[in-house]
Amino acid sequence: MNSNLPQLPHGFFNIDKPIGITSMDVVRELRKEIKSKKIGHGGTLDPLATGVLPIAIGNATRLLEYLLNDSKTYIAEIEIGKSTNTYDAEGNFSNEEPYGHIEKSYVEKELEKFLGIIDQTPPIFSAIKKNGVPMYQLARRGIHVEIPSRQVQIIMLDLESFNPPYLTIKIKCSKGFYVRSFANDFGKKIGTGAYLKSLNRIQSGDMKIENSISLNTLKEELKQENYSNLITNFDSVLSHMEKKQLTEQESIKLKYGQKIVHNSSISNNQLIKVFDQNNIFFGIAEFMHQENILKPIKMFI
Protein backbone atom coordinates (compact mmCIF):
# COMPACT_ATOMS: atom_id res chain seq x y z
CA MET A 1 0.00 0.00 0.00
CA ASN A 2 1.20 3.50 -0.79
CA SER A 3 2.77 4.95 2.39
CA ASN A 4 1.77 8.43 1.27
CA LEU A 5 -1.93 7.68 1.70
CA PRO A 6 -3.61 9.86 4.38
CA GLN A 7 -4.24 8.43 7.85
CA LEU A 8 -7.79 9.55 8.57
CA PRO A 9 -9.41 10.09 11.96
CA HIS A 10 -12.31 7.85 12.92
CA GLY A 11 -15.70 8.92 11.59
CA PHE A 12 -18.16 8.75 8.71
CA PHE A 13 -18.42 9.92 5.14
CA ASN A 14 -21.82 10.53 3.54
CA ILE A 15 -21.35 9.28 -0.02
CA ASP A 16 -23.80 9.84 -2.89
CA LYS A 17 -23.31 6.45 -4.54
CA PRO A 18 -23.28 6.65 -8.35
CA ILE A 19 -25.23 4.28 -10.57
CA GLY A 20 -23.58 1.14 -11.90
CA ILE A 21 -21.44 0.06 -8.95
CA THR A 22 -22.12 -1.84 -5.75
CA SER A 23 -21.76 -0.55 -2.20
CA MET A 24 -18.71 -2.79 -1.77
CA ASP A 25 -17.20 -1.25 -4.92
CA VAL A 26 -17.32 2.11 -3.12
CA VAL A 27 -15.52 0.60 -0.13
CA ARG A 28 -12.86 -0.91 -2.42
CA GLU A 29 -12.31 2.40 -4.19
CA LEU A 30 -11.81 4.23 -0.90
CA ARG A 31 -9.43 1.58 0.41
CA LYS A 32 -7.10 2.63 -2.39
CA GLU A 33 -7.12 6.20 -1.08
CA ILE A 34 -7.12 5.69 2.70
CA LYS A 35 -4.49 4.23 5.02
CA SER A 36 -6.95 2.16 7.03
CA LYS A 37 -8.14 -1.43 6.84
CA LYS A 38 -11.23 -0.56 8.84
CA ILE A 39 -13.72 0.67 6.25
CA GLY A 40 -17.33 -0.41 5.92
CA HIS A 41 -20.67 0.75 4.55
CA GLY A 42 -23.96 1.27 6.34
CA GLY A 43 -26.55 -0.30 4.06
CA THR A 44 -26.37 -2.02 0.69
CA LEU A 45 -27.55 -0.27 -2.45
CA ASP A 46 -28.04 -2.24 -5.67
CA PRO A 47 -25.87 -1.20 -8.66
CA LEU A 48 -28.86 0.52 -10.32
CA ALA A 49 -29.61 2.51 -7.15
CA THR A 50 -28.03 5.84 -6.23
CA GLY A 51 -27.91 8.01 -3.17
CA VAL A 52 -26.89 8.09 0.47
CA LEU A 53 -24.32 5.47 1.42
CA PRO A 54 -22.78 5.92 4.89
CA ILE A 55 -19.10 4.94 4.94
CA ALA A 56 -17.42 4.29 8.29
CA ILE A 57 -13.69 4.75 8.82
CA GLY A 58 -11.68 3.25 11.67
CA ASN A 59 -13.49 2.65 14.95
CA ALA A 60 -16.66 4.16 13.47
CA THR A 61 -17.21 0.76 11.84
CA ARG A 62 -18.33 -0.45 15.28
CA LEU A 63 -21.35 1.84 15.02
CA LEU A 64 -22.54 0.68 11.59
CA GLU A 65 -25.15 -1.64 13.11
CA TYR A 66 -27.01 1.37 14.49
CA LEU A 67 -27.16 2.95 11.03
CA LEU A 68 -28.30 -0.35 9.52
CA ASN A 69 -31.11 -0.55 12.06
CA ASP A 70 -32.33 2.98 11.35
CA SER A 71 -34.99 4.05 8.85
CA LYS A 72 -34.30 4.83 5.19
CA THR A 73 -36.08 7.16 2.75
CA TYR A 74 -36.15 6.64 -1.01
CA ILE A 75 -37.45 8.23 -4.18
CA ALA A 76 -38.53 5.34 -6.41
CA GLU A 77 -39.70 5.35 -10.01
CA ILE A 78 -41.96 2.40 -10.81
CA GLU A 79 -43.23 1.33 -14.21
CA ILE A 80 -46.56 -0.48 -14.30
CA GLY A 81 -47.70 -2.80 -17.10
CA LYS A 82 -44.45 -4.79 -16.99
CA SER A 83 -42.65 -7.00 -14.49
CA THR A 84 -39.24 -8.68 -14.32
CA ASN A 85 -37.75 -11.68 -12.57
CA THR A 86 -35.40 -9.45 -10.57
CA TYR A 87 -38.16 -6.90 -9.81
CA ASP A 88 -35.98 -4.16 -11.35
CA ALA A 89 -34.73 -3.00 -14.75
CA GLU A 90 -31.84 -5.49 -14.80
CA GLY A 91 -34.09 -8.51 -15.13
CA ASN A 92 -35.89 -10.32 -17.91
CA PHE A 93 -39.23 -8.74 -18.80
CA SER A 94 -42.46 -10.72 -18.81
CA ASN A 95 -45.47 -10.10 -21.04
CA GLU A 96 -46.90 -6.60 -21.00
CA GLU A 97 -50.26 -5.98 -19.34
CA PRO A 98 -52.76 -3.17 -20.09
CA TYR A 99 -52.65 -0.23 -17.70
CA GLY A 100 -54.81 2.42 -19.41
CA HIS A 101 -57.63 1.89 -16.92
CA ILE A 102 -55.43 2.71 -13.92
CA GLU A 103 -56.23 6.15 -12.50
CA LYS A 104 -54.31 8.28 -10.03
CA SER A 105 -57.00 8.08 -7.35
CA TYR A 106 -56.91 4.28 -7.54
CA VAL A 107 -53.10 4.24 -7.21
CA GLU A 108 -53.28 6.50 -4.15
CA LYS A 109 -55.92 4.28 -2.56
CA GLU A 110 -53.91 1.11 -3.12
CA LEU A 111 -50.69 2.68 -1.87
CA GLU A 112 -52.37 3.53 1.43
CA LYS A 113 -52.99 -0.17 2.04
CA PHE A 114 -49.24 -0.78 2.30
CA LEU A 115 -48.70 1.65 5.18
CA GLY A 116 -47.68 0.20 8.52
CA ILE A 117 -46.24 -3.21 9.35
CA ILE A 118 -46.49 -5.66 6.45
CA ASP A 119 -45.15 -9.08 5.48
CA GLN A 120 -42.67 -8.88 2.62
CA THR A 121 -40.75 -11.56 0.76
CA PRO A 122 -37.27 -10.47 -0.40
CA PRO A 123 -36.35 -10.93 -4.08
CA ILE A 124 -34.73 -14.21 -5.10
CA PHE A 125 -32.07 -12.08 -6.78
CA SER A 126 -30.70 -10.64 -3.53
CA ALA A 127 -27.59 -10.83 -1.34
CA ILE A 128 -29.44 -12.79 1.35
CA LYS A 129 -27.50 -16.00 1.96
CA LYS A 130 -28.72 -19.60 2.03
CA ASN A 131 -26.15 -21.92 3.62
CA GLY A 132 -23.52 -19.27 3.03
CA VAL A 133 -24.35 -18.75 -0.67
CA PRO A 134 -25.96 -15.48 -1.86
CA MET A 135 -29.46 -16.03 -3.22
CA TYR A 136 -28.68 -14.29 -6.51
CA GLN A 137 -25.99 -16.89 -7.25
CA LEU A 138 -28.47 -19.71 -6.70
CA ALA A 139 -31.09 -17.92 -8.82
CA ARG A 140 -28.64 -17.52 -11.71
CA ARG A 141 -27.99 -21.26 -11.60
CA GLY A 142 -31.72 -21.92 -11.84
CA ILE A 143 -31.88 -23.26 -8.28
CA HIS A 144 -35.19 -22.35 -6.66
CA VAL A 145 -35.11 -21.73 -2.91
CA GLU A 146 -38.07 -20.69 -0.81
CA ILE A 147 -37.44 -17.38 0.93
CA PRO A 148 -39.43 -16.79 4.11
CA SER A 149 -41.32 -13.53 4.37
CA ARG A 150 -40.37 -11.01 7.03
CA GLN A 151 -42.15 -8.21 8.82
CA VAL A 152 -41.11 -4.74 7.71
CA GLN A 153 -42.62 -1.31 8.18
CA ILE A 154 -43.57 1.45 5.77
CA ILE A 155 -43.55 4.62 7.84
CA MET A 156 -44.45 7.08 5.09
CA LEU A 157 -45.60 6.58 1.48
CA ASP A 158 -46.38 9.50 -0.82
CA LEU A 159 -47.23 9.54 -4.52
CA GLU A 160 -45.01 12.25 -5.96
CA SER A 161 -46.19 11.96 -9.57
CA PHE A 162 -48.28 9.71 -11.83
CA ASN A 163 -47.64 9.76 -15.56
CA PRO A 164 -48.74 6.32 -16.82
CA PRO A 165 -47.03 3.95 -17.07
CA TYR A 166 -44.69 5.65 -14.59
CA LEU A 167 -45.26 6.64 -11.00
CA THR A 168 -42.80 8.20 -8.59
CA ILE A 169 -43.13 7.57 -4.88
CA LYS A 170 -41.37 8.79 -1.76
CA ILE A 171 -41.12 6.00 0.77
CA LYS A 172 -39.73 5.88 4.31
CA CYS A 173 -39.24 2.37 5.62
CA SER A 174 -37.63 0.20 8.24
CA LYS A 175 -34.51 -1.92 7.96
CA GLY A 176 -34.80 -5.05 5.85
CA PHE A 177 -37.23 -3.42 3.40
CA TYR A 178 -36.80 -4.12 -0.33
CA VAL A 179 -38.18 -1.41 -2.59
CA ARG A 180 -37.88 -3.87 -5.49
CA SER A 181 -40.19 -6.31 -3.71
CA PHE A 182 -42.60 -3.49 -2.98
CA ALA A 183 -42.74 -2.54 -6.66
CA ASN A 184 -43.45 -6.14 -7.64
CA ASP A 185 -46.08 -6.56 -4.91
CA PHE A 186 -47.77 -3.30 -5.89
CA GLY A 187 -47.95 -4.43 -9.52
CA LYS A 188 -49.66 -7.64 -8.43
CA LYS A 189 -52.03 -5.67 -6.22
CA ILE A 190 -53.30 -3.50 -9.07
CA GLY A 191 -53.25 -6.35 -11.59
CA THR A 192 -50.84 -4.87 -14.14
CA GLY A 193 -47.48 -6.02 -12.94
CA ALA A 194 -44.73 -3.50 -12.09
CA TYR A 195 -41.00 -3.24 -11.61
CA LEU A 196 -38.57 -0.78 -10.06
CA LYS A 197 -37.18 1.44 -12.81
CA SER A 198 -34.89 3.64 -10.70
CA LEU A 199 -34.12 4.26 -7.03
CA ASN A 200 -32.46 7.08 -5.13
CA ARG A 201 -31.89 6.86 -1.37
CA ILE A 202 -32.23 10.36 0.03
CA GLN A 203 -31.87 9.54 3.72
CA SER A 204 -30.24 6.85 5.83
CA GLY A 205 -30.62 7.40 9.55
CA ASP A 206 -29.31 10.90 10.21
CA MET A 207 -27.51 11.21 6.87
CA LYS A 208 -29.28 13.10 4.09
CA ILE A 209 -28.66 13.46 0.36
CA GLU A 210 -28.27 17.25 0.57
CA ASN A 211 -25.21 16.79 2.81
CA SER A 212 -23.62 14.02 0.73
CA ILE A 213 -20.53 14.12 -1.49
CA SER A 214 -19.85 12.28 -4.72
CA LEU A 215 -17.34 9.44 -4.71
CA ASN A 216 -15.10 11.12 -7.28
CA THR A 217 -15.07 14.41 -5.37
CA LEU A 218 -14.17 12.63 -2.14
CA LYS A 219 -11.33 10.76 -3.83
CA GLU A 220 -9.92 14.05 -5.13
CA GLU A 221 -10.21 15.66 -1.68
CA LEU A 222 -8.43 12.68 -0.11
CA LYS A 223 -5.54 13.03 -2.55
CA GLN A 224 -5.26 16.68 -1.53
CA GLU A 225 -5.68 15.71 2.15
CA ASN A 226 -8.53 18.20 2.29
CA TYR A 227 -11.10 16.05 4.02
CA SER A 228 -11.44 17.18 7.66
CA ASN A 229 -14.69 19.08 7.01
CA LEU A 230 -16.15 16.06 5.20
CA ILE A 231 -15.87 13.63 8.12
CA THR A 232 -18.91 13.28 10.36
CA ASN A 233 -18.05 12.49 13.96
CA PHE A 234 -19.39 9.50 15.87
CA ASP A 235 -22.22 10.92 17.89
CA SER A 236 -23.74 13.08 15.16
CA VAL A 237 -25.03 9.98 13.36
CA LEU A 238 -26.75 8.89 16.57
CA SER A 239 -29.01 11.89 17.09
CA HIS A 240 -31.98 9.60 17.76
CA MET A 241 -30.25 8.45 20.96
CA GLU A 242 -30.51 10.43 24.17
CA LYS A 243 -27.27 11.98 25.41
CA LYS A 244 -25.90 11.69 28.96
CA GLN A 245 -22.82 13.48 30.27
CA LEU A 246 -21.14 11.63 33.12
CA THR A 247 -18.64 12.45 35.82
CA GLU A 248 -14.99 11.45 35.50
CA GLN A 249 -15.43 8.55 37.92
CA GLU A 250 -18.58 7.29 36.13
CA SER A 251 -16.85 7.53 32.77
CA ILE A 252 -13.83 5.53 33.93
CA LYS A 253 -16.00 2.74 35.33
CA LEU A 254 -18.07 2.45 32.15
CA LYS A 255 -14.99 2.46 29.92
CA TYR A 256 -13.61 -0.49 31.82
CA GLY A 257 -16.77 -2.55 31.60
CA GLN A 258 -18.39 -1.78 34.94
CA LYS A 259 -22.07 -1.01 35.45
CA ILE A 260 -22.83 2.19 37.32
CA VAL A 261 -25.82 3.51 39.24
CA HIS A 262 -27.17 6.58 37.45
CA ASN A 263 -30.38 8.40 38.30
CA SER A 264 -32.18 9.57 35.17
CA SER A 265 -35.55 10.85 34.03
CA ILE A 266 -35.58 8.20 31.25
CA SER A 267 -38.73 6.16 31.76
CA ASN A 268 -37.80 2.94 29.97
CA ASN A 269 -34.87 0.74 28.98
CA GLN A 270 -32.99 2.15 26.01
CA LEU A 271 -29.59 2.73 24.45
CA ILE A 272 -28.03 6.12 25.10
CA LYS A 273 -24.82 7.81 23.99
CA VAL A 274 -22.49 8.73 26.83
CA PHE A 275 -20.05 11.63 27.15
CA ASP A 276 -17.28 12.18 29.67
CA GLN A 277 -16.72 15.12 31.99
CA ASN A 278 -15.18 17.07 29.09
CA ASN A 279 -18.27 16.46 26.95
CA ILE A 280 -16.42 14.03 24.68
CA PHE A 281 -18.37 11.07 23.28
CA PHE A 282 -16.92 7.76 24.40
CA GLY A 283 -19.55 5.10 23.83
CA ILE A 284 -23.00 3.61 23.98
CA ALA A 285 -24.60 2.30 27.13
CA GLU A 286 -27.92 0.72 27.98
CA PHE A 287 -29.99 2.42 30.66
CA MET A 288 -31.86 -0.14 32.74
CA HIS A 289 -34.79 1.83 34.11
CA GLN A 290 -35.94 -0.32 37.01
CA GLU A 291 -32.46 -0.54 38.55
CA ASN A 292 -31.30 2.96 37.52
CA ILE A 293 -28.18 1.33 36.08
CA LEU A 294 -26.05 2.17 33.07
CA LYS A 295 -24.55 -0.91 31.42
CA PRO A 296 -21.66 -0.46 28.92
CA ILE A 297 -22.45 -1.75 25.41
CA LYS A 298 -19.75 -0.26 23.17
CA MET A 299 -16.92 1.75 24.60
CA PHE A 300 -14.26 3.79 22.76
CA ILE A 301 -11.24 4.31 25.01
The predicted-structure confidence for 158-208, as pLDDT tens digits, reads as follows: 999 999 999 999 999 999 999 999 999 999 999 999 999 999 999 998 899
Residue 228 vs residue 180, higher pLDDT: 180
Among 183, 204, 225, the domain boundary falls at 204
Q: Collapsing DSSP states into helix, strand and coil, what is residue 254? A: helix
Task: Clarify whether 235 is annotated catalytic.
Answer: no
**199 with 160, same domain?**
yes
Give percent above pLDDT 70 in the chain. 92
Strands 49-57 and 194-204, by their bridges, are parallel
Q: What is the mean pLDDT of the chain?
A: 89
Among 157, 186, 204, the domain boundary falls at 204
User: Is pLDDT at 265 greater than 90 in this prediction?
Assistant: no
Burial class (CB in 10 A: 0-12, 13-18, 19+), 192: buried
CATH number of the domain that 269 lies in? 2.30.130.10
Q: What is the mean pLDDT of residues 244-266?
A: 90
Which residue type, as a one-letter code, is found at position 112? E
- Is residue 2 situated within a structural domain? no
pTM of the model: 0.89
User: Is pLDDT at 84 greater than 90 in this prediction?
Assistant: yes
Residue 97 vs residue 10, higher pLDDT: 97
Q: What is the mean pLDDT of residues 204-233?
A: 89
What pLDDT sits at residue 1?
45
Q: What is the dihedral of CA 121, 126, 131, 133, to 10 degrees?
A: 170
Identify which of 1-10, 35-44, 118-127, 147-156 has the greatest average pLDDT. Answer: 147-156
Residue 222 vs residue 266, higher pLDDT: 222
Q: In this predicted model, what pLDDT tens digit does every residue of 118-144 receive, in sequence order?
A: 999 888 776 676 666 666 676 666 667
Strands 207-208 and 213-214, by their bridges, are unpaired
**164 with 253, same domain?**
no
Task: Report d(CA 188, CA 76) in Å as an integer.
Answer: 17
- Helix or strand holding residue 293 (H, E): strand 293-299
**65 with 211, same domain?**
yes
- Helix or strand holding residue 188 (H, E): helix 179-190
44: pLDDT confidence band, cut at 50, 70 and 90?
confident
Structural domain count of the chain: 3
Q: Collapsing DSSP states into helix, strand and coil, what is residue 192? A: coil
**250 with 151, same domain?**
no
Those residues whose C-beta lies under 8 Å from the C-beta of residue 233, and which sit 6 or more positions away, are: 11, 12, 281
**172 with 80, same domain?**
yes
**18 with 36, same domain?**
yes
Catalytic site residue from 46, 70, 235, 276 = 46
**161 with 180, same domain?**
yes
What pLDDT sits at residue 126?
67
Domain span including residue 88: 72-204
